[in-house]
Structure 1
Amino acid sequence: MSTETSRISWRDGRRYLWPSAIMVPMLPFLSYGIVSQTGVEGWWWLTPGLVFVLIPLVDMVGGDDVGNPPEDAAKTLQSDRYYRWLTYLYLPLQLGGLVLGSWQWQQGDLGWVGLLGVLVSIGTVNGIAINAAHELGHKRESLERWLSKIALAPTAYGHFYVEHNRGHHTRVATPEDAASSRLGESFWRFWPRTVWGSLKSAWHLESSRFALRKRNRWSWRNDVLNAWAMTLALFVVLTVAFGPGLIPFLIAQAVLGFSFLEVVNYLEHYGLCRQRVGESGRYERVDEQHSWNSNRLVTNMFLYQLQRHSDHHANPIRRYQILRTFDTSPQLPAGYATMIVVALFPPLWRRIMDPRVIAHYGGDLDQANLHQPARAQLLARYGPRPGGALAAEAP
Structure 2
Amino acid sequence: MDVVKVDSSSRRKEQYDGWRDPKRYFWLYGLVIPLSPFIGYFLVKYLKLGVFWASGALVIAVLCPLVDALARLDTRNPPERVMKALENDRYYRYCTYLYLPLQYAGLFFGCWCWVTQPMAGGERFAMAATLGIVGGVGINAAHELGHKRTTIERRLAKIALAQSFYGHFFVEHNHGHHVRVATPEDPATARMGESYWWFLPRTVFGSLRSAIRYEKARLGRRGKSFWNLRHNDILNAWVLSVVLYAVLIAVFGWSIAPWLVVQAVMAVMFLEGANYLEHYGLLRNKRPDGSYERVRPEHSWNSDHVCSNLFLYNLQRHSDHHANPQRRYQTLRSMPEAPQLPAGYAVLILTSLVPPLWRRLMDRRLVAHYNGDFSRINIQPGKRAALEARYG
Q: Counterpart of 2:61 in 1: which secondary structure? A: helix
- Residues 260-304 of structure 1: CA distance to partner in whole angstroms, max 9, x if unpaired? 0000000000000001012x1110000100000001111111110
Query: How many residues are paired up?
Result: 379
* Corresponding position of 1:76: 85
In 1, Cα distance between equivalents of 2:76 and 2:67? 20
Q: Do 2:65 and 2:344's aligned partners in 1 also have CA atoms closer than 8 Å? A: yes
Q: CA deviation at 1:113?
A: 3.2
1:347 corresponds to 2:366: no
Q: Do 1:105 and 1:115's aligned partners in 2 also have CA atoms closer than 8 Å? A: yes
Aligned match of 2:276 in 262, 266, 269?
266
In 1, Cα distance between equivalents of 2:330 and 2:137? 18
In 1, Cα distance between equivalents of 2:15 and 2:136? 38
In 1, Cα distance between equivalents of 2:272 and 2:256? 25
1:251 corresponds to 2:261: yes
* Corresponding position of 1:289: 298
Aligned match of 1:242 in 245, 249, 252?
252
Q: Do 2:302 and 2:335's aligned partners in 1 also have CA atoms closer than 8 Å? A: no
* Corresponding position of 1:91: 100
Code of the aligned partner of 1:30 = I
Instruction: Describe the shift of the 1:214–1:336 C-alpha distance in structure 2 as closer, same or farther (beyond 3 A).
Output: same
* Corresponding position of 1:207: 216
Aligned match of 1:40 in 39, 49, 52?
49
In 2, Cα distance between equivalents of 1:6 and 1:239? 49
Q: Counterpart of 1:373 in 2: which secondary structure? A: coil
* Corresponding position of 1:52: 61
* Corresponding position of 1:178: 187
* Corresponding position of 2:22: 13
Identity %: 51
Q: CA deviation at 1:357?
A: 1.0
- Residues 39-95 of structure 1: CA distance to partner in whole angstroms, max 9, x if unpaired? 432221222112101211211111111111011101111111110000011111111
Code of the aligned partner of 2:245 = F
Q: Which stretch of structure 1 is more off in the superposition, 120-129 or 265-274? A: 120-129
Alignment of 1:302-381 (within 5 A): 302-381=311-390
Q: CA deviation at 1:37?
A: 3.6
In 1, Cα distance between equivalents of 2:55 and 2:165? 24
Q: Which stretch of structure 1 is more off in the superposition, 108-117 or 56-65? A: 108-117
* Corresponding position of 1:123: 132
CA RMSD of aligned residues (A): 1.3
* Corresponding position of 2:4: none
* Corresponding position of 1:233: 243
In 2, Cα distance between equivalents of 1:138 and 1:46? 30
Code of the aligned partner of 2:250 = V
Gaps of 5+ in 2: 1-12
Code of the aligned partner of 1:243 = G
Q: CA deviation at 1:148?
A: 0.3
Alignment of 1:131-146 (within 5 A): 131-146=140-155
Q: CA deviation at 1:107?
A: 2.5
In 2, Cα distance between equivalents of 1:266 and 1:197? 14
- Residues 207-250 of structure 1: CA distance to partner in whole angstroms, max 9, x if unpaired? 11011122111112100000000000000011111111211111
- Residues 356-379 of structure 1: CA distance to partner in whole angstroms, max 9, x if unpaired? 111111101111111013223202
Q: Do 1:6 and 1:72's aligned partners in 2 also have CA atoms closer than 8 Å? A: no
Instruction: With the length of structure 2 as denominator, give the TM-score of the two structures.
Output: 0.94
Gaps of 5+ in 1: 384-395
In 1, Cα distance between equivalents of 2:14 and 2:264? 49
Q: CA deviation at 1:6?
A: 9.3
In 1, Cα distance between equivalents of 2:234 and 2:121? 36
Q: CA deviation at 1:337?
A: 1.1
In 2, Cα distance between equivalents of 1:382 and 1:161? 38
Code of the aligned partner of 2:311 = F
Q: CA deviation at 1:8?
A: 1.7
Q: CA deviation at 1:38?
A: 4.3
Q: CA deviation at 1:258?
A: 0.8
Q: Counterpart of 2:100 in 1: which secondary structure? A: helix
Code of the aligned partner of 1:337 = A
Q: CA deviation at 1:36?
A: 3.0
Q: Do 1:159 and 1:227's aligned partners in 2 also have CA atoms closer than 8 Å? A: yes
* Corresponding position of 2:8: none
Code of the aligned partner of 2:159 = I
In 2, Cα distance between equivalents of 1:267 and 1:257? 16
Q: Counterpart of 1:277 in 2: which secondary structure? A: coil
Q: CA deviation at 1:9?
A: 1.5
Q: Counterpart of 1:89 in 2: which secondary structure? A: helix
In 2, Cα distance between equivalents of 1:41 and 1:60? 27
Code of the aligned partner of 2:302 = N
Q: Do 1:290 and 1:329's aligned partners in 2 also have CA atoms closer than 8 Å? A: yes
In 1, Cα distance between equivalents of 2:369 and 2:84? 33
Q: Which stretch of structure 1 is more off in the superposition, 39-48 or 269-278? A: 39-48
Q: Do 2:15 and 2:85's aligned partners in 1 also have CA atoms closer than 8 Å? A: no
Q: Do 2:125 and 2:259's aligned partners in 1 also have CA atoms closer than 8 Å? A: no
* Corresponding position of 1:392: none
In 2, Cα distance between equivalents of 1:88 and 1:179? 26
